[in-house]
Amino acid sequence: MKYQIISSSSKGNCYIYNQDLMVDIGVAFNKIKPYLNNVKLILLTHRHSDHLNIKTLKKTLYESPNVKVACGRFLVKQLVDNGIEKSSIYVLELDKTYDLGKYIITPVMAIHDVPNFGYKIIIKKDNYKIFHITDTGSLSHIEAKDYNWYSVEGNYESNEEMERRIVEAKKKGEYTYLQRAKENHMCQIDTLNWLDKNKGVDSKYILIHQHEGD
């Protein structure tokens, strides 16, 4: 399976699987322009601007009107209010499974400060299974056994490290959003533990959406 990471961090997220399936579009248009000839479907996770750059999405659909967007109901109003045609949008419900051409897609719940989906994706042709999730405080409610590919958030190293930094900031009387980051994002140790429980011997994985600086 061919995959491309256009961007992966709190500065911007955009991933392309199998050349034609994009997940999130939180980047400037010129970054994705070279790939647009192939892209057919864009899965959106949530409304934060590092995942959804509405200007880029509009421009993409303007240049490639056949591209479809799939997302949770919670994003539809924002898209339509920004001039995106309803006919371009597949509205997805949590935990339901959809047959979308080359792909079978099932949204799963991410634990975040706004509604957010992770995605179970199956490439129908060869039954290749992909699990993709970012911006979640927990994974323990999700099972995705023996997938071929996992792209899972590993935002910061460990809870202990995070606690230390929070205490330090408080001692100095500094405002810190680390507590919020801790509740809304996965630490790498927990992600790796979850992967150990779910991945099979031949599974591949990458940790995405890693924390950059403060």
Which member of 135, 154, 198, 211 binds Zn ion (CB under 5 A)? 135
Stretch that binds Zn ion, among 29-37, 45-53, 69-77, 124-132 (CB under 5 A): 45-53
Largest CA distance in the chain: 56
Q: How far is the CB of 66 from Zn ion (least distance, A)?
A: 28
Stretch that binds Zn ion, among 47-55, 60-68, 118-126, 159-167 (CB under 5 A): 47-55
Q: Read off the amino acid at residue 120.
A: K
Q: Per CB under 5 A, does 50 bind Zn ion?
A: yes
Give the integer Cα–Cα distance in Å for 46 and 50. Answer: 9
Which member of 32, 48, 149, 162 binds Zn ion (CB under 5 A)? 48
Q: How far is the CB of 13 from Zn ion (least distance, A)?
A: 6
Binding characters for Zn ion, 54-93, by CB under 5 A (x = yes)? ----------------------------------------
Q: How far is the CB of 191 from Zn ion (least distance, A)?
A: 15
